[in-house]
Amino acid sequence: MRHQKSGRKLNMPASHREAMFRNMVTSLFRARRIETTDTRAKELRVLAEKLITTAKGGDLHARRLVMRDIKDPKVVAELFDTIVPTYANRHGGYTRILKAGRRKGDNAPLSLIELVDLEPKIEELEDRVEKRKKKKEERKRADEEAAARAGAPAPSEATQAEK
């Protein structure tokens, strides 16, 4: 019997589940809003709220307890310096879960989990998208240059010639 066994197993080993939630809570504190499945969001809420409540202690012990789960020192510093002061007068309820429809492919129910009273860091997300676009363009240029040196048509020209 599962009496007094809290938490969802999510069909994965405990070590994988713990690592996944540590990564997700780090991403949540970094971007302040993430999209995931409903059940993962509900479990992530528990961990995020416990970490924020622990961080409200503000001392070295609280910082070390939080650093057990969040390995990125920049995110820990942001949690203690910007996120926790926002919630100084709030007793719980630091996160909000919004339904976001269904995932294409497996039709899994998706949710947005976000920190209440904090604007999401859209700039960081836009910067990541810009970096990815630049890398993709650089790879494309490098492929074309390599093909030109080899005397073969560039990959983009070869695909157009085939059509």
Boundaries of every domain in the chain? 1-117, 121-163
Closest by Cα among 52, 70, 38 to 116 = 52
What is the pLDDT of the chain when averaged over all its residues? 89
pTM over 0.85: no
Residue 19 backbone dihedrals phi, psi, to 5 degrees: -65, -40
Mean pLDDT of 46-67: 96
The band of 152, judged by pLDDT with boundaries at 50, 70 and 90, is: low
Instruction: Assess contact for 149 and 61: CB atoms under 8 A.
Output: no
Residue range 1-117 in CATH 3.90.1030.10: yes
Residue 2 pLDDT? 86
Structure tokens at 128: 């990541």
Instruction: Assess contact for 99 and 36: CB atoms under 8 A.
Output: no
What percentage of the chain has pLDDT greater than the value 90? Answer: 69
Residue 93 backbone dihedrals phi, psi, to 5 degrees: 70, 45
